[in-house]
């Protein structure tokens, strides 16, 4: 059964997955030499690598999909070494997801002094302001 971008295959003793592409799917993405922002040109490649790493694919399906992505990347004038970059980003994000977050209302330099205490800890710091749109619109 095909659902969105995945094929679900039911065998007698197990369920396996594969990446599904319509017959009309082409290997065209925003090419590397376009005038689009870098975030836009890399979005499809990031999506493809996330798909490979997220779905529970068998080794043969994973290798087949990796080869397909390499073909797509290469035919759109990217260097295939960029795939290593996205795989290392996934590892970094996984490590970052284990960190805790502390949110501080930013009041000025005092807030910076307090948040410096978290610099060498496993706690990441995020700031917010009191300038909420709702409050500004009331006045």
* pLDDT the model gives residue 136: 66
The span from the CA of 6 to the CA of 15, in Å, is: 12
What is the pTM (predicted TM-score) of this model?
Answer: 0.58
* pLDDT the model gives residue 97: 57
Query: Residue 3 is encoded by which pair of tokens?
Result: 């659902």
Helix (H, G, I), strand (E, B) or coil at 81: coil
Query: Residue 81 is encoded by which pair of tokens?
Result: 């070494």
Mind giving me the DSSP string for 85-134? Answer: HHHHHHHHHHHHHTSEEEEEE--SHHHHHHHGGGTTSSEEEEEE-S--HH
Give the model confidence (pLDDT) of 14-64 as tens digits.
888 888 888 877 888 888 888 777 778 888 888 888 888 888 888 888 888
Domain coordinates in residue numbering, the chain? 2-97, 100-138
* pLDDT the model gives residue 37: 75
Give the model confidence (pLDDT) of 78-137 as tens digits.
888 888 777 766 655 555 556 688 888 877 778 888 888 888 888 888 887 776 666 667
């Amino acid at each position: 059964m095909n659902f969105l971008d995945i094929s679900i295959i039911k065998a007698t003793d197990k369920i396996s997955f594969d990446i599904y592409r319509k017959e009309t799917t082409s290997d065209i993405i925003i090419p590397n030499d376009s005038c689009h922002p870098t975030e836009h040109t890399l979005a499809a490649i990031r999506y493809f690598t996330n798909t490979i790493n997220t779905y529970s694919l068998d080794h043969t399906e994973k290798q087949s999909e990796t080869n397909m992505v390499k073909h797509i990347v290469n035919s759109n004038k990217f260097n295939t070494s960029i795939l290593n970059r996205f795989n290392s980003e996934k590892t970094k994000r996984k490590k970052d997801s284990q960190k805790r977050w502390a949110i501080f209302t930013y009041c000025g330099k005092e807030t910076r002094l307090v948040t410096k205490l978290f610099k060498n800890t496993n706690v990441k710091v995020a700031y917010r302001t009191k300038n909420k749109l709702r409050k500004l619109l009331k006045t």
